[in-house]
Amino acid sequence: MKWVGGKRQLLPELAKHVPEHFGTYFEPFLGGGAFLLTLSAENAVINDFNPELVISWLMVRDKPEELLKQLKQHQLNHSKEYYLHLREADRDGRLEKMTLVQRAARFIYMNKTGFNGLWRVNKKGQNNVPFGSYNKPNIADKDTIKTVSRYLNDATIKITNADFEKVVLDAQTGDFVYFDPPYIPISETSSFTAYSSDFGYDQQVRLRDVFVRLHQKGVHVMLSNSDVPLIEELYGHIEGIVIDHVSVTRMVGAKASSRKKVGEVIVHG
């Protein structure tokens, strides 16, 4: 899936800090799952606060053939009008009547065809992402869905939809936790965006506290975020924790040409 803040660009840097041996892998902010799929952990607990995203991961695991059938229908019907009609499903009562497979197919279709792969909702929980102009969006990606489905079934993967703190309660010494929260804004005009619009300063502090508790418990911990002064304030004085500064190419505007290097951090210990 496309995902704002997706980790494909950062994967080589993240890989440098993966422990050689670890028990269960935890990823409380899953998003598009690029790091999970690269890591291919045999035992994992994965989570996201976005219920539509979690439903999609579950259906990829449990009902890939039915999901692909629904996606093929979306591909056949694809148009701006069709996209906007399907977007209205969370306003006119259709969403609640859909099966889980139908909801997953709607989510994946809108992710593949919405503007810049955004998934954004208003305060009422209604998607408000404009239609994206793509020539040939790969909506029914058979190979990827089947490959991911096999992995999710062959490994021991628990998929949840909960608060990040609850997800890591069972993490033990020797386990590995990677946090990829909504990033701290890099300017005063930015805001905590994506689907977790409520993930503000207080939540970042709570996340830091969870990070420290896990570290003191002997859990391998890693976190990515924006390279901003607040990171140093939150994590800079924790014994045994290192902050690495990296730069990645990110989309920063509406056009593909508007890409630039932006500073990010990997906090680990």
Spell out the domains of the chain, with CATH numbers in brackets: 11-49+162-268 (3.40.50.150), 56-144 (1.10.1020.10)
- Residue 192, pLDDT score: 44
DSSP type of residue 131: B
| Contact in structure between 138 and 1 (CB atoms under 8 Å) | no
Dihedral-angle region of residue 57 (phi above 0 means left; psi in -120 to 50 means alpha; beta otherwise): alpha
What pLDDT shows up at residue 170? 96
| pLDDT tens digits for range 68-117 | 999 999 999 999 999 999 999 999 999 999 999 999 999 999 999 999 88
In the prediction, which pLDDT does 116 show? 85
Among 23, 14, 32, CA closest to 220? 23
CA–CA gap between residue 153 and residue 62 (Å, rounded):
8
Give the pair of three-digit tokens for residue 107: 């989510």
User: Which helix (H) or strand (E) covers residue 84, if one does?
Assistant: helix 80-87
Rounded Cα–Cα distance for residues 261 and 239 (Å):
30
Share of the chain above pLDDT 70, in %: 88
Structure tokens at 200: 């503000």
What 8-state DSSP symbol labels residue 99? -
Integer Cα distance of 128 and 93 in angstroms: 16
User: For residue 4, what are its two tokens?
Assistant: 């704002």
Residues in the chain: 269
**Band of pLDDT at residue 123, cut at 50, 70 and 90:** confident
Give the whole-angstrom CA distance, residue 107 versus residue 101.
Answer: 10
pLDDT in tens, 125-171: 899 999 998 888 999 999 999 999 999 999 999 999 999 999 999 99
Residue 181 to residues 1, 20, 49, 72, 219: CA-CA distances in angstroms? Answer: 17, 24, 10, 32, 18
**pLDDT value at position 135?**
85
- In this prediction, residue 6 carries a pLDDT of 59
| Whole-number Cα distances in Å, 1 to 20, 33, 204 | 28, 8, 26
For β-strands 220-226 and 25-27, DSSP reports them as: unpaired
